[in-house]
Structure 1
Amino acid sequence: MSQIEATENQIMKAKIDVPMTQKGAYGAGTLTLNLLPGALGVFSFFLITAFGIDPFLAGLLGGLPRLFDALTDPIMGFITDNTKSRWGRRRPYIVVGAILSGVFFALLWQLDPEASQAYNFWYFLIFSMIFTIGNTMFATPFVALGYEMTSDYNERTRLMAFAQTMGQVAWMIVPWFWVMIADKDLFPTQAEGVRELSLYVAGACIVLGILPGLFCKGLDDSKLENRAEISFATLWTNLKAVFSGIRTVFKNGPFVKLCGATFLVFNGFQLVASFSFFIIVFHMFGGDYGATGSWPAWFATVSAMTTAFLVIPIISWMASKYGKRNAFIISTMISIVGYSLKWWSFDPSNPWLIFMPIPLMSFGIGGLFTLMMSMTADVCDMDELSNGMPRREGTFGAIYWLMVKLGQALALILGGLVIKLVGFDPGAASQSAETLIQLRLADIIIPASTAALAIIVMWKYDLSEDKARAIKAKLVELRGEL
């Protein structure tokens, strides 16, 4: 190899590889992306116990902002795809959105336990809507930025693996919020614990959330054509373009498969997410919360640590060696084995066995977002080749996460229905043996079944590495360097 060829290869590798500084910044954003909903989920429990909100109204406070989210995500995707600025299409929104998300998350939880239920309901609902706008302004362009930070098939997986590893730190921390808020040595009341902890979460999210907007780089804006004008004068035209873009996205077969598989794996997991807590408390410790102690928190934390430091690196290696589709199928099969082992792991005579299925179960969620985020980036290239510019990373990201959010809302509803159907009585000090057996079976059968269905959905996914590289070469031919 000549010196010139060696130099050209070094230059090409430098353009393909995402610098560690940018990977770290994008990972910090992924941590923020996980920490906000994780904390929101924990704190929402205390709307009932600490602030006196009726359970039905608390359910509305959880559901209505998600419906609002369903409107704002695609609109924000269209806006960020078509933005023209000296700082790029994504970065200004990420910085402003991170600040707004943090500020309004903190304000959201400054409820007054002495105020009337009506006041707290409307206060929380209004600030939830405002927080949702700020979070959408951060999350949608942030996800889209990750799709375009590199055009290389395998580097996309390495970037997402690194980011998801950092994102798992949120799930190592969040379970301990339950323990901290209930600790009277830390906070005199639950309400005070929620209000104070929300300030720390908000501060961390602002600091971490702005980093990708400051340090990460996406595509060269100057080479992108056919972008719509974003202004009040073009509002109606742009709204029609939003729905047109959504229709185009759903005509993309590989992307629809990614959404379907994600819906099945993630929401099968989410549907039974709370079941482990009830099984540990009532099956292993007979309903004695004092004896249960911090076992549920350790179960969640060890799951996140295993996902971050063991599973994600293995999945990244499998994707490079066997391809992303095959890595997904293999990791999902392994998770089904892990779910099955839960029947023997919740043993009242040996609590340590609860950690036995975790390394295998974690392949499900660990593989899901690492691989799906990487494959969605490949789909964006395919879409440009089929439909031309503007590139629609924002729209694809918005629709993908919209499916996740809507499915998550459905999982919360169905999870409560399953608990009711098995005869679980949340007010009782103990549960019947029949109820606990049915709950344990549901905890295994539901996520294992949805994971199996996801494998079927992805079986004929055909955007392989060879095809992705051919698409990239064609795009380079059509419009120059990616």
Structure 2
Amino acid sequence: MLPRRVRVGYGLGSVATGTFGTVPGLMLLPYLTDTLGVAAAVAGLIVLLPKAWDVVLNPIAGRISDRTDDPRGPRRPFLLRGGLLLAACFALLFAGPDLGSTALDALWVLVLFVGCATAYAFFQVPYVAMPAEITDSYAERTRLMTWRVAILAFAILLSGASAPAIRNAFDGRAGYRVMGLVVAVILVVGVVGAYVGTVPARVGRATAGEGTLRDQLRVVAEARDFRLLLTTFVLQALATGAMLAGVDYVSRWVLGDKELSTILFVCFVGPALVLTPVWNLVGQRIGKKRGYIAASLVLATGACVLIGARSAPHALVFVATALVGAGYAGAQMFPMAMLPDTAAVDARRTGVNRAGVYTGVWTAGETLGLALGPGVYGLVLALGGYHSSTTGGAAQPSSAITAIVLGFSALPAVLTMVSLLWLRRYDLGADVVEEALTP
């Protein structure tokens, strides 16, 4: 059993992953459309392209960390290097000077966001690879992920609720600049906490895989259960990415008050602080796969209720969003606990440690899904005729309001339900994993 210091220390890395996974998806699209005046479709593309770069970079980062020989472990040095660079780039992302041109302002955002994405790859991939190496226990990984998801939920709640509040406390770009600095500090706390907290963790000693990166990616792609789990998770990342991107727009144009974005976001994330341990108990009783399916159904149900947000009372919108959040808690915890199972079973069966490549592919998929969410949401806005502006006050046609609602509700509901077509075929239950890992 892992000591609590390691569980908490490892979980602190989720302060960084949760913050960076949330704030750009929540704030960057509105910053581009309603402060810089970038057209919705172009803004969606700017949000998407740096994350698409990560799809290429993440497996490379995983292979590099697999082949790193360091007394601190093959992963931990990357936590500090990648994480601190991420914080610096993020502070600069929203700190751009007024360059007198929408195109130049957009270019600044694109270049800095690419820098953020690059640094994040070299933090996130080694970080996600660590559980498969610091414990061999199927149950212990679930406990480890319970700590991680609980801290992740807190980090998402803290950063996601404070970011719009800080922005709203100042006028125009100044609000975004202050917000960027505060979020960068939060990133540093998570990075340093994970690095220091995992000092007592066991260091994995399996030999890194031979062959080219393409050879190892082919092996991972042929791992049936990993492939099914990844497909499910990517589709759901796309769903939640679209919902995050829609929070600011729904608050402003559907609920009629941009100040409500903080409340709406808290309803989305807050339940995870309470329900993550509950989902852990559910997983212990019915298994990770069935627990994941149950959480996904709860998420989809809440999203379906939100289809009527345009005419529903505010209270119902908040309750339905909280229902989405209840499902989101489990839909984050279970796949995170299932991923190390797939990598560890492969390592024990083959004698080759491909944890970094596995998690590189995984985080590439997650990153793509979370990036596609705002990108697709921006496209939905464009199809609805959304009007961008530099003041955020442009009147919107009825079609744009409809697009705002459907991108926030129907789109995530459909994506979540479709994802279950892959999850239902996943076969790595507790009995299979324990048998594979028995010496």
TM-score of the two chains, using structure 1 as the length reference = 0.80
2:217 is the counterpart of 1:246: yes
Amino acid at match of 1:267: L
* The one of 321, 324, 336 aligned to 1:373: 336
Alpha-carbon spacing, 1:373–1:384, altered in 2? closer, same or farther (3 Å) = same
Q: 1:205 aligns with which of 183, 187, 200?
A: 187
Comparing 375-384 and 206-215, the one that deviates more:
206-215
Match of 1:24 in 2: 8
Instruction: Choose which of 410, 416, 419 in structure 1 pairs with 2:381.
Output: 419
Query: Within the alignment, does 1:387 sit opposite 2:350 as a pair?
Result: yes
Q: CA deviation at 1:280?
A: 4.7
Report the more deviating stretch, 173-182 or 339-348: 339-348
Tell me the equivalent position of 2:206.
224
CA distance in 2, matches of 1:364, 1:393: 28
Q: 1:429 aligns with which of 364, 371, 395?
A: 395
1:178 aligned residue (164, 184, 188): 164
Tell me whether 1:352 sits opposite 2:352 in the alignment. no
Distance 1:265 1:56, change over 3 A: closer
2:363 is the counterpart of 1:401? yes
Q: Partners in 2 of 1:422 and 1:213 — Cα distance?
A: 45
Residues 352 and 99 from structure 1, CA distance in 2 versus in 1: closer, same or farther, beyond 3 angstroms?
A: same
Shift of 1:282: 3.8
Give the letter aligned to residue 322 of structure 1: I
Give the partner amino acid of 1:163. Answer: R
Unpaired segments ≥5 residues, structure 2: none
**Structure 1 counterpart of 2:232:** 261
Indicate if the aligned counterparts of 1:38 and 1:170 stay in contact, CA closer than 8 A. no
- Is the CA contact (8 Å cut-off) linking 2:50 and 2:117 kept in structure 1? yes
Q: 1:382 to 1:414 in 2, by over 3 A?
A: same
2:48/2:372 contact within 8 Å kept: no
Q: Does 1:271 align with 2:256?
A: no
SS of 2:134's equivalent in the other structure is coil
Alpha-carbon contact 1:97-1:138 (below 8 Å) kept: yes
TM-score, structure 2 normalization: 0.88
Percent identical pairs in the alignment equals: 22
CA shift, 1:81, in A, is: 1.1
User: Which one of 419, 424, 429 corresponds to residue 459 of structure 1?
Assistant: 424
Q: Choose the corresponding residue for 1:193, options 175, 192, 197.
A: 175
CA contact (8 A) 2:251 2:264 kept: no
If asked which structure has higher relative contact order (CA below 8 Å, sep 6+), I would say 2
What is the CA deviation profile of residues 94-131 of structure 1, one whole-angstrom value per residue up to 9, with x for unaligned ones? 11222221122223333111555565455444443333
Deviation (angstroms), 1:351: 2.0
Q: Supply the RMSD in Å over aligned alpha carbons.
A: 2.8
Return the alpha-carbon distance in structure 2 between the equivalents of residues 453 and 118 of structure 1: 38
> What's the secondary structure of 1:210's corresponding residue?
helix
SS in 2 for 1:110: coil
Contact 2:15 2:186 in 1 (8 A): no
What is the distance in 2 between the residues matched to 1:396 and 1:382? 12
| SS of residue in 1 equivalent to 2:130 | helix
Alignment of 1:6-17 (within 5 A): 17=1
Larger deviation: 54-63 or 376-385?
Answer: 54-63
1:134 matched to 2:119? The reply is yes
Aligned-pair CA distance for 1:438: 7.0
Which stretch shifts more, 155-164 or 111-120? 111-120
Q: Is the 8 A contact 2:166 2:179 kept in 1?
A: no
C-alpha separation in 2, matches of 1:337 and 1:51: 36
Do the aligned partners of residues 226 and 362 (structure 1) sit closer, same or farther apart at CA in structure 2, a change above 3 Å counting? closer
Q: Do the aligned partners of residues 342 and 55 (structure 1) sit closer, same or farther apart at CA in structure 2, a change above 3 Å counting?
A: closer
> In structure 1, what is the Cα distance between the partners aligned to 2:190 and 2:68?
24
Give the C-alpha shift of residue 270 in structure 1: 2.5
Aligned to 1:334: 298
1:323 deviates by 0.5
Q: Which residue of 1 aligns with 2:411?
A: 446
- Asked whether the 8 Å contact 1:73–1:402 carries over to 2, the reply is yes
**Counterpart amino acid of residue 452 in structure 1:** M
Deviation larger for 121-130 or 295-304: 121-130
- Give the direction of change, closer, same or farther, for the CA distance of 1:206–1:440 in structure 2 (3 Å limit): closer
C-alpha distance in 2, partners of 1:126/1:440?
31
1:142 to partner: Cα distance: 0.8
Distance verdict in 2 for CA 1:442–1:58, change over 3 Å = closer
Structure 1: gaps of 5 or more residues: 1-16, 229-239, 286-291, 478-482
- Choose 195-204 or 135-144, whichever is displaced more: 195-204
Report the Cα distance in structure 2 between the residues aligned to 1:162 and 1:141, rounded to whole angstroms.
Answer: 18
Displacement of 1:464 after TM fit? 0.8
